[in-house]
Amino acid sequence: MAHSHSSSVNFFGSVNKVVYEGKNSTNPLAFKYYNSQEVIGGKTMKEHLRFSIAYWHTFTADGTDVFGAATMQRPWDQYKGMDLAKARVEAAFEMFEKLDAPFFAFHDRDIAPEGSTLKETNQNLDIIVSLMKDYMRTSNVKLLWNTANMFTNPRFVHGAATSCNADVFAYAAAQVKKGLETAKELGAENYVFWGGREGYETLLNTDLKFELDNLARFMHMAVDYAKEIGYTGQFLIEPKPKEPTTHQYDTDAATTIAFLKQYGLDHHFKLNLEANHATLAGHTFEHELRMARVHGLLGSVDANQGDPLLGWDTDEFPTDLYSATLAMYEILQNGGLGSGGLNFDAKVRRSSFEPDDLIYSHIAGMDAFARGLKVAHKLVEDRVFEDVIKHRYRSFTEGIGLEIAEGRANFKMLEQYALNNKSMKNESGRQERLKAILNQYILEV
Ligand SMILES: [Mn+2]
């Protein structure tokens, strides 16, 4: 089979390079809102949005669910083993180019099959990483992040860094060591930890404190090894409250921030926040982004959405304009995502099984976030919510409020103030009016 860039076989034969045609286009293979070179607030859409294609959902997932077999029609599935792994690289780079996607992301086990020993597994990885490096030389696509799959193989039944089995901890360490070498080799802008099975099912058999200590020890070792080999990408940790374990340790942004601070890791890590993980945690996506942002720890985003009627991690492509707008609002207020990006940790539905659905779904997600960016930019520019919030908290800009805000108040002086205060008046929060204004911006920007 063909392995060089120029002689690639054509896995998306019916698809030409996807271009921007504007909001009136009826071409399903064109962008309606994502115009990569359009400048918004001094940066192009491409620079703002930093879209990334997820290798696992797009090139590896076969549509299997707990009730049914594979459904996906993937022309590269005609190959097996390492030939399949190589064909996926060809398909991936063909798609990256056709969508002009600036980034991609993968777990180690998405790109190369496990061998019968760790050594053989690493050799398989080396072959594919070197093939990817060849493609990256002549392509504009970069690696947003890579990570280690430490949840699929049965050895991780009790977790990886939080396993009760020291041999498994050691194996996981070897895997992340290799992952950091891969990150350096491919110039990954970030390295991600998603705590696959880092959690527990019952306290009756779990030393919770020891597992948390071990998780922190593991992450410190990763930070030390990155330093040792000169890998300078940003470390990211991705919260999720449940699935696969009942209690995932990195439950949500607030819990993860507490963990990072408790163990002295907050200067080495930022958060990679996923929309569907936020909803599983009982939060909105924008809540998680805000929580990370105000702590200076907003690093990157897994752009997807859940189905509120199902309530599990459906990883759907993000098409909800409210969510995309409010997410982009947080990202703009953060001054962008730095080395992070918007990674489509999203999969087509099992019933959307044709190869072209992979293109339609990415266009849908990219257009939704492009629109969200434009609306959010206008909201920020017009100071729509900033002025409302500033006005709402104005009692803290003078008198007793200023004393509180500047840390000069104490209980005794506040009691004196309250005893002498003749009138106390609250004002409406006016959230319905604000939601109507948000609607006006979404519909009219
Ligand atoms: Mn998810």
> 162-179 pLDDT, tens per residue?
999 999 999 999 999 999
Whether 256 has a pLDDT exceeding 70, the answer reads yes
pLDDT band at residue 8, thresholds of 50, 70 and 90?
Answer: low
356 is catalytic: no
Q: Give Cα separations from 114 to 82, 163, 226 (angstroms).
A: 10, 21, 24
> In the predicted model, what is the mean pLDDT of the chain?
97
Residue tagged active-site, from 48, 107, 283, 377: 107
Q: Is the dihedral of CA 347, 349, 352, 354 positive or negative?
A: positive
Q: What is the mean pLDDT of residues 84-95?
A: 98
**Is 313 within any annotated ligand binding site?**
yes
Looking at residue 86, what is its pLDDT? 98
| pTM value > 0.85 | yes
Q: What is the mean pLDDT of residues 237-265?
A: 98
Q: What is the mean pLDDT of residues 175-200?
A: 98
107 is catalytic: yes
Whether 348 has a pLDDT exceeding 80, the answer reads yes
Whether 422 has a pLDDT exceeding 60, the answer reads yes
Residue tagged active-site, from 100, 108, 110, 367: 110
Whether 77 has a pLDDT exceeding 90, the answer reads yes
pLDDT band at residue 445, thresholds of 50, 70 and 90?
Answer: confident
For residue 392, how far is its CA from the centre of ligand 1 (angstroms)?
Answer: 36
Residue that the structure tokens 């398909």 belong to: 91
Write b or e for each residue in 137-146: b if 16 or more Cβ atoms lie within 10 A of its Cβ, otherwise e. Answer: eeeebbbbbb
Pairing of strands 247-248, 199-200: antiparallel
Looking at residue 2, what is its pLDDT? 43
